[in-house]
Amino acid sequence: MISILIPNRDSFEAIQLCIESIRRFTQCPYKIIVWDDCSVNGIDLKYLRECRDKGWLTLHEGTKHLSHGGVLNKLLNEICDTELAVVMDSDVQVFRHGWLEDMAQAVSSGEDIIAVSGIMKKYHTPHCYRTPIYNCWFGIIDMRLYKDGMQTDWTNKHVDRRDEPYKTIFAPYYPPTEAGIDWNRFNENQVAIDPGGKFWVKVNYDNPKGYRVLPLPPILYSKHRHFCHVTFIAFPQFDNNPKVVAERKAKFAQIKAELQRLRGK
């Protein structure tokens, strides 16, 4: 049995596409666990409650906004009770059969492999600190190794120049020219407490047991799609930016079209 852990907040049709594509293309024994982080759009919770009532998933409804990292703390550190756990954003669509079997095989291919996820590349910071940047909105974790001294707090206290919380490791890091990010926070002291660094620094720099993270096998990139970060396209503070609004509408139109296709409509 593998737990598929999904943090959700105001994802609209994206969470529907995520759930229904998992159900269609997954044979390996699994259970879906969704933590809804106080969605307010009137769509997500109604749909998720219907899924819960059908027996499709286990639903946890937050009563206080926790942030993406706070939800991961709940899902990974408190709720998950299986040996393997897939963590995916609510805007991931599964495309083909065998995706979960491939992931389980990848993480089980060596006793020292603690996780399999996307790895972008290594960046040099102004302080010459070199750390892997993991694009882990979609990955699998060996929970036995994770709990063996590697468990971490996924929340983040740092904010960028726009005073928006960083989204944790499940969002990619961008060069400073793209998001106005102050890279001074990536110095050697801060990387260890940044949510994009805490777990991975343990793996790469403070890991006496030699646990490793592997990149996703190439075959998996043809078996899933990550549409976008729905938390970004739902941010009201971008509503006055015509370019962002247009991109957001196009992305939601694509999600709706994929959902209709999946449902055979």
pLDDT one-digit tens code per residue, 211-237: 988 888 888 888 998 887 665 555 665
pLDDT, one tens digit per residue, over 10-61 is 888 999 999 999 999 999 999 999 999 999 889 999 999 999 999 999 999 9
Read off φ and ψ for residue 131, nearest 5 degrees.
Answer: -140, 145
**How far apart, in Å, are the Cα atoms of 109 and each of 52, 60, 104?**
33, 32, 9
Containing 148, the helix (H) or strand (E) segment is none
Least Cα distance to 94 among 184, 246, 252, 221 occurs for 221
Phi-psi region of 10 (alpha: psi -120 to 50; beta: other; left: phi over 0): left
Contacts of 72 (CB under 8 A, 6+ apart): 5, 7, 87, 154, 168, 170
Of 104 and 237, the one with more pLDDT:
104
How does residue 173 score in pLDDT terms, banded at 50, 70 and 90? very low
The domain spans of the chain are: 2-230
Average pLDDT in the 116-133 region?
A: 50
Q: Is the pLDDT of residue 162 over 60?
A: no
Mean pLDDT of the chain: 78
pLDDT, one tens digit per residue, over 69-90 is 888 899 999 999 999 999 998 9
157: buried, middle or exposed (CB in 10 Å: 19+, 13-18, 0-12)? exposed
Task: Name the pTM for this structure.
Answer: 0.82
- Determine the pLDDT at residue 241: 75
Q: Is the pLDDT of residue 118 over 80?
A: no
CATH number of 2-230: 3.90.550.10
